[in-house]
Each structure stands twice: as structure tokens, then as C-alpha cells.
Structure 1
């Protein structure tokens, strides 16, 4: 019997590529989007808004009604946010956490009872290499993804008794259209951050444009699904991006901070 997979944020980017790839491999795939449109997909696209619990319950209810089970949950949906902490609206910070952190939690809380009833399941949380460190002008994004990383570790322990495996996969720069949906704090005229922030925005977009093919994420997720004993943490991206996580563990804090600042021209 084909495994039933739910992947959030499947209308574009990593989610769409991964959903299509897994469908080609023979899985029964359900993707979600806040505004699903008819498209030529090999998977079903359902409406789901991470900030609307009733829409989460409705989408998952439809899958259970049709398939009777959910074998794999891939928490992929999210949003980007940039800006100096001092100048970023607090309501936008909260919206980023509601999407990237609390939204993922609400999906898991809705799926876990079904997996527990099945006495098996796999949850894959898509985080970010940025979640392993504070990055200039991306602090809220880093903090939300870092929080999901830590929560993954907690859930792995809490759900092991129910034969539910929990893992995460942290991408570095992947070539997607994430910038189009990102909240950008404006570069305010006369701001003390204006020059360096504008340079960093350009650098972020350049990194994404030159990022890795999202098919690499799809292949890694496929590997995780087929691994009877998946690791707790996975990373996908450029060597130096992945190595930066190792450097953070072994270098003195201020030296590591200096390396990051030099990288971003600060």
C-alpha cells in the first residue's frame, strides 16, 4: 500500500518540487496551499492556512476521510522576513512566528492523534541552516526556524513511544521564489541601518538566485522516508553553509561572529 504523504506549502518552490517528485515515486501525495489553484499536478492540492486552525482541521479531515491514514507529514510551508530588529514591526515578527513555528505545531497537533492510532508515522520539519545561527537582518527568521529545530528534538522523544519518528531537514540557499513572499522591512531614508541593510538585501537575493536546485531537497526527503531509522537532523546546501554549523560549535563566539559579519560586509 502506498504511503499517504501530506506536505504543506506545495504550490511552489521546495514544496511543489518535492510533492511532484514523491508522487512520481508512487506515493499518494496531498499538498496544501492558502489559495490552491487548478494545475497540472500529480498530487492533490488542498486549501490550508497555517494561521487558521479550522482550515488545518478541514484539510487533514478530508485526507483521513479519503485515505484513512496519514503516514508522513512534511511541514514545509513558511515565510521569510527581513529587517533590522529595531525597525521591523512587531506584528510582522509575530506573523512570521505564527507561520513558521506555531503553524507547524498546529498541523502536527492535528496529525499526531491519527499517527498514534496507527501506531506509526513520520514527521519531517523543514527548518533552515539559518536556524542554527543568528544572521544580520534575518534574526526573526533564524529564531523561528531555530525554535522549530529544538521543538523537533522534544517531539522526537515524546512521540517515540508511539512509534512516530520525528526529524528535520535544514536547507541552505535553494533556488526558489521565496523572496517574492518574504516580508521586507523597508529601507527607510535616513535610517542608521539603510546602507548596510540594502547591501544585505541584495546579497540575500543573489544567494537565493545562485542557490541549489530544490530537487536536492526532494531527493533527501525521499531518502528520509525510506530510511527505517532516520537521523534527527539533516542539512542540504553548499558545503560552506553546512560547515558553518560545525564552525559555530568549535570556534569562540566572537570569532564566529566576526566571520559572519565579514561575510555580510559589516
Structure 2
């Protein structure tokens, strides 16, 4: 029997690529969007789910389980970006991105775990980010949400392993998606002490995204994880520099690594 897969945030970008790829591989895929009726037709079934509304999460999971009798894989992909200096970014916007990227992902995990426990198997894949391994200038809040989800993944993996459930994270680097259009940008305030550096880094971030890898590489990585008997907890998908930065973070003195990042971001 083909696996039943739930993928959040599947109407565009990485989520859409993963959903399309797995559907082509014969999986029964349910993608989610906050407003699926307003979107084009996809090769997989798109259902309504808003990670900020637990009732919509419960309804979506219940719909899949009643229709299919099981739920084998969750790909927790829904998320949002945020940019800005820590000092300039409104605290309410900081809370909003944590609610989506961390607590929203946790709420979806909580919704699927009872069914996965009942069937004594399941795979949860949390899509994090290589940015979650380090605090990046003007992306500190985004880095923090993804780093927190990485840590939650580690803890959950140990908690649910006795039930036959695997919890894994896959961390992408820079990919060519529309994330820049959907992220919250703290305005470049005229009187900000960070005005010039922040604007320069906004331009750099957009260049990195537009020149990023094809999202199909994330789809292939997720497919490989699903079909690995004993998967690792952490996977990184990206260019050589993306992945090497994580290694450097681990082996270099922190002041050296900070200097390297500041040179890269021209600070």
C-alpha cells in the first residue's frame, strides 16, 4: 500500500515540490493551504489547514484518517520568514513568527501523534533551516525559530521512539522559492542606526534566494528519508557553502566564526 502523507504549506515553494514529487512516486499526498479554494489545481489533494488554528489542524487530520484509515508521514513545512534588526523589529511580529514556525509545527505534530501511536508507526519530518544552526544578522528571529524546532525534534524523537515513530528534521539552505515575498520585513526606518547595513543585507538575502537551488532537491531528500530504514535525526540540504558553514560553526572559536559571518555579510 502506498504511504499516506500530510504536507503543510504545500501550495507553493518547497512544500509544493515535495508534494508533487511524492505524488508522482505513488504516495497518497494531502497538501495543505490556508485558502485552497483560491488556488490552481494540483496533482495532489489540497485541503484547508492553518497552523495557527488548532481546530483546522484537527479537522484536516481527522478528514485524512477517516478517508484513508491511517497517516504514515507528516512533513511539517508551513512557515514564514522575518527580517530586521533585533532592536527595530516589533515584538508582536517576533511572537507571530514563533507562533507559525515553532508552535504551529508543534500543534500539527500533536495532532498526528495519537493516530501514529495507534498504528504503531509513523514518520514526522520537520522542515527547519541551515539558518537555525547559527544566529544570522538581520535574520536572528528566523534563525531562532528554526533552531528551536531542531531542538524540539531531538526531544520528540526520544519521546516517541518507543511507539515506532520517527521524528527527523531536514534543514534546507538557500532555495529558489517565493519565501521572500511572504516574509515579514521590518521597515528600513530612516532614523534607524541599522539603516544602511540592513538595506544592504536585504538585497543580499534576495540575491541568495533567487540564486538558490531548485526545490526539487528538497523533495528528493525527503523521499530518501522516508525510505531510509534507520534515518538520522538531522539532515542538511543545500550548497557546499551552506553545509560547510555548519561544520565551521562547530569547529571554529566563536569569535572567529562571528568575524567570518560579518565579513560575508559586509558588516
Band the TM-score falls in, shorter-chain normalisation: over 0.9
CA deviations 1:160-194 (Å, max 9, x no partner) are: 10000111000000000001100000000021100
Aligned length: 266
CA deviations 1:193-214 (Å, max 9, x no partner) are: 0000000000000000000000
CA deviations 1:130-173 (Å, max 9, x no partner) are: 00000000000000000000010001100110000111000000
Unaligned runs of 5+ in 2: none
Q: Give the whole-Å Cα distance in 2 for the aligned partners of 1:58 and 1:35.
A: 14
CA deviations 1:72-120 (Å, max 9, x no partner) are: 0000000000001111011110000000000000000000000000000
Specify the SS of the correspondent of 1:73: strand
Task: Spell out the pairing of 1:1-266 with structure 2 (5 A cutoff).
Answer: 1-37=1-37, 38-266=39-267
Specify the SS of the correspondent of 1:61: helix
Runs of 4+ residues over 2 Å off in structure 1 = 37-40
TM-score, with length taken from structure 2: 0.99
- Aligned-pair Cα RMSD in Å: 0.6
Q: Give the whole-Å Cα distance in 1 for the aligned partners of 2:225 and 2:69.
A: 23
Q: Give the whole-Å Cα distance in 2 for the aligned partners of 1:140 and 1:65.
A: 38
Unaligned runs of 5+ in 1: none
